[in-house]
Amino acid sequence: MKKSTPAISPGPITLDVLGLSLTTADRARILHPLTGGVILFGRNFSDREQLLKLTASIKALRPDVLISIDHEGGRVQRCKKDGFTPLPAMGRLGELWLTNRKKASATSYPASEAIVAMQAATACGYVLAAELRACGVDFSFTPVLDLDFQRSGVIGDRSFSRDPQIVFALAKSLNAGLQMAGMANCGKHFPGHGWAKADSHVAIPVDERPLKKILNDDVKPYEWLHLSLAAVMPAHVIYPQVDQHPAGFSAIWLQTILRQQLAFQGVIFSDDLAMEGASVAGDVVKAAQLALRAGCDAVLICNRPDLADRLLAELQVTSAKLLSSRQRLLQLMPKFSGLNWDELQQQAEYVQAKKLLSQLQLI
């Protein structure tokens, strides 16, 4: 009797692929049992047909692997042509909220000034998710929950607003749009990257504020979104009044505050371990181990295939940690099939969402 091949379950490493189609090395990495996700970048997209072939080839190897992308709108949108809607930066939605509030204060109608901005956020979330899902992408690392203190160039208009209440309301609305298309959400960058000026891609940001200030301001969107958050990505920022480690490597931030105080039950992804902000944690293997011990369920390693290979070869993960990470990661998989592109163009909800965004001059 022929022995069956054991099924591979998703592991804690999310990694990227080199180009527009899979190489032999890409395939080997995806098939590795420690791999649980593939993240796509702009270099992996030329047109919709190519993207659909790429995602289908990944799923043919590993149906359980979560195919993700950074697709927020504005300057962080990986797919920008061949029919993909050029979505606005989320700061435009915050501006819309404030513009409508000023208009409302000059008229007699009640405090419903936020409704248009929230509807626009839902429309953005739906269009974003539905278009990606039509091309085989499961998940996007969005929304940004950082507050815009007018200090961080890397965050800037990726943030909805300086006001945590506006960030909460618009993120909740955007998440509803994602959910309509069957896509989960990921709030980032916990507890907040808006105050630190340095860009964690190329430097090690430090936020000197006290814990009470951060909890009463930056953390509020996470607290208020609560069970509606499916995933969280911590910041590569050091908050020295709380811990010497960046948030993504800190058990204080991830377990004591996020898991216990905020009762977050979803997936915790590390930010990219190849970023400069992660360098304080040591080499890539030490950084991954520290992130997983601190409370991350999955770690990202991007744009460095050499480091991805080392991580796959050397990372040691306990069976208990593997099991808990797998259970959480599987919850991010879409619960139903997305429409194909032609079907999507005829769908009433999609057509109405794009019409609203066009009327508001957001697209």
Q: Which tokens belong to 325? A: 């990470």
Catalytic residue among 201, 226, 283, 306: 201
Helices 115-134 and 164-180: crossing angle, nearest 10°? 40
Active-site residue, 16 included? no
Active-site residue, 201 included? yes
Catalytic residue among 16, 70, 243, 271: 271
Enzyme catalytic residues: 201, 271
